[in-house]
């Protein structure tokens, strides 16, 4: 099995990948009972090359529900009836997950509404209150 190249520097070496083929669930007729087309791909996260500690931690958080008991990332694919295409799909999923972990999240800067926006909001609330006040019985208008 080949290494997964994520960027020019970051790659998942072949030694970090473990692939297992199992029978897929769902429709497929007789084929589903005799062909192991579903792919179970496991990735050792500590073996990913040139991944910063912060990106590695983001990857662990992103893949939290996909980690097995040994802390390896578990990706499955049964999208097609062909084992090689399912393997490629699983490898693409791993690559996309690592790319997502490489992106630094943007810092949120607190903002506050302008004075004009605050006044517009209060004015619309007053208009709405007036509309609601005129609903109902007419003897309450006084």
Give domain status of residue 85, yes or no: yes
Instruction: Look at residue 141 in the predicted model and tell me its pLDDT.
Output: 57
Instruction: Look at residue 86 in the predicted model and tell me its pLDDT.
Output: 93
Mean pLDDT by 10 residues, the chain (142 residues): 88 90 77 82 91 92 91 91 91 94 91 96 96 78 57
pLDDT tens by residue, 43-78: 999 999 998 999 999 999 999 999 999 989 999 999
Range of the domain at 67: 4-102
Instruction: Look at residue 118 in the predicted model and tell me its pLDDT.
Output: 97
Measured CA distances, 30 to 33, 34, 83 (Å): 6, 7, 16
What burial class does residue 124 get, using C-beta atoms within 10 Å of its C-beta: 0-12 exposed, 13-18 middle, 19+ buried?
Answer: exposed
Give domain status of residue 107, yes or no: no
Return the CATH number at 78: 3.30.160.20
Instruction: Look at residue 82 in the predicted model and tell me its pLDDT.
Output: 87
The tally of domains found in the chain comes to 1
Q: What is the pTM of this model?
A: 0.72
């Amino acid at each position: 099995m080949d290494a997964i190249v994520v960027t020019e520097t970051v790659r998942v070496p072949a030694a970090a990948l473990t692939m297992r083929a199992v029978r897929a669930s769902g429709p497929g007729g007789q084929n589903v009972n005799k062909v192991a087309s579903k792919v179970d791909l496991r990735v050792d996260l500590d073996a990913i090359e040139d991944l910063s500690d912060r990106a590695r931690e983001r990857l662990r958080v992103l893949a939290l529900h996909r980690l097995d008991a040994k802390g390896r990332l578990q990706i499955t694919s049964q999208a097609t009836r062909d084992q090689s295409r399912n393997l490629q799909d699983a490898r693409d999923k791993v690559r996309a997950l690592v790319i997502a972990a490489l992106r630094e999240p943007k810092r949120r800067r607190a903002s506050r509404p302008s004075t004009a926006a605050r006044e517009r909001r209060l004015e619309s609330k007053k208009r709405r209150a007036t509309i609601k006040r005129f609903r109902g019985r007419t003897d309450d208008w006084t």
